Amino acid sequence: MYNNIGIIGFPLSHTFSPTIHAHYLDMCGLNGGYACFCESDSNNLGNLLQMLNKYNFIGVNVTVPYKVDIMQYCKQLDNTAKIANAVNTLKFCNDGIVGYNTDIYGVSKMFSNADVSIIDKNVLIIGAGGATGAVLAHMVEHKPKSVTIANRTIEKAKKLSENFDINIDVCSLDMIKNCEFDIVINSTSLGLDGGEFTNYGFICSEALVDLQYQADITPFLASYTKNKVKLINGLDMLIYQAYQSFNIWTGCDFVPDVDKLRKLYYNHIGK
């Protein structure tokens, strides 16, 4: 058996997922390959999924900007996908596609590995796309003092916040200037295509988190210059969401070799 797996998204030039999954295939002694399907037009997603099914793909990851759009092609949604209101993992089954959200697990490992607790904290999330759902799912479980979402499109943030059973304040990006938070999380895709990151002027006292991982210190982490805080990029989230996706596709259970993956990551980003 050949395990055909991969990723759909745009842009994908930064992705480290193929290396992670090649490592997981090695660890489990499986044959297979992880292919990148760079698709710039959401109207082509249906045809792309049909093609992948025809070529016996067992599953794919879904990333920016399709984590919400892709849900319409799922015959069934796992509970994780329903909770996050987004899908980052598809499994091709005999009777249709099942959508999962393994970002929730990735987010929780990212916080626990960095020793950052959400309980009783004032949290700011910048962005209201597919990745934010997984972050909000983590918030619901960990009882912060307050959660604020700041987004370019305020209506999108309002709509997303209605799906979660916690009190969420919503505001525009220009309203966070000089506001103080314990933990600030960037879940926008801004900067992935090389665009400049704006310094929004908020004040953070404990941890600055970026779900992006294209550099050790990503453009968002670098944009914060006010005071010393813990800086966390999205590498651990990536490693652990990938682990759970791989487990869903192959049924293999193993302990990821995180030290080895970190070395491969530094190689990937040219450090």
Q: Is 110 in the site for ligand ATR (CB under 6 A)?
A: no
For residue 129, which amino acid is it?
A: G
Q: Is 3 in the site for ligand ATR (CB under 6 A)?
A: no
Q: Which of residues 41-60 bind ligand ATR (CB under 6 A)?
A: none
Selected from 65, 114, 258, 264, the binder of ligand ATR by CB under 6 A is: 65
Q: Cβ of residue 156: shortest distance to ligand ATR, in angstroms?
A: 4
Region of 41-49, 62-70, 200-208, 246-254 interacting with ligand ATR (CB under 6 A) = 62-70
Q: Which of residues 146-175 bind ligand ATR (CB under 6 A)?
A: 151-153, 156
Q: Is 129 in the site for ligand ATR (CB under 6 A)?
A: yes
Selected from 12, 190, 215, 258, the binder of ligand ATR by CB under 6 A is: 190
Q: Are 111 and 88 contacting, i.e. CB atoms less than 8 angstroms apart?
A: no
Region of 32-40, 128-136, 174-182, 256-264 interacting with ligand ATR (CB under 6 A) = 128-136
Position with the least CB separation from ligand ATR: 129
Region of 45-53, 107-115, 182-190, 260-268 interacting with ligand ATR (CB under 6 A) = 182-190
Q: How many residues bind ligand ATR (CB under 6 A)?
A: 17
Among left, alpha and beta (phi > 0; psi -120 to 50; other), residue 168 is: beta
Q: Is 128 in the site for ligand ATR (CB under 6 A)?
A: yes
Q: Is 12 in the site for ligand ATR (CB under 6 A)?
A: no
Q: Is 122 in the site for ligand ATR (CB under 6 A)?
A: no
Q: What's the rounded Cα separation, in Å, for the pair 124 and 195?
A: 22
Of 4 and 212, the one with the shorter C-beta distance to ligand ATR is 212
Q: Cβ of residue 10: shortest distance to ligand ATR, in angstroms?
A: 9
Of 58 and 237, the one with the shorter C-beta distance to ligand ATR is 237
- For residue 245, what are the contacts with CB-CB under 8 A and spacing of at least 6? 59, 61, 88, 89, 100, 102
DSSP 92-106: EETTEEEEE--HHHH
Active site residue 158: no
Kindly give the residue spans of alpha helices, DSSP state H, lying in the chain.
17-28, 45-54, 79-84, 103-113, 130-142, 154-161, 219-222, 235-250, 258-268
Q: Are 46 and 97 contacting, i.e. CB atoms less than 8 angstroms apart?
A: no
Selected from 5, 7, 83, 131, the binder of ligand ATR by CB under 6 A is: 131
Residue with tokens 């307050």: 146
Q: How many CB atoms lie within 10 A of CB 89?
A: 28
- Strand, coil or helix: 62: strand
Q: What's the rounded Cα separation, in Å, for the pair 34 and 227?
A: 41
Q: Is 233 in the site for ligand ATR (CB under 6 A)?
A: no
Q: What's the rounded Cα separation, in Å, for the pair 216 and 146?
A: 28
- Active-site residue list: 67
- State the residues that interact with ligand ATR by CB under 6 A: 64-65, 67-68, 127-131, 151-153, 156, 187-190
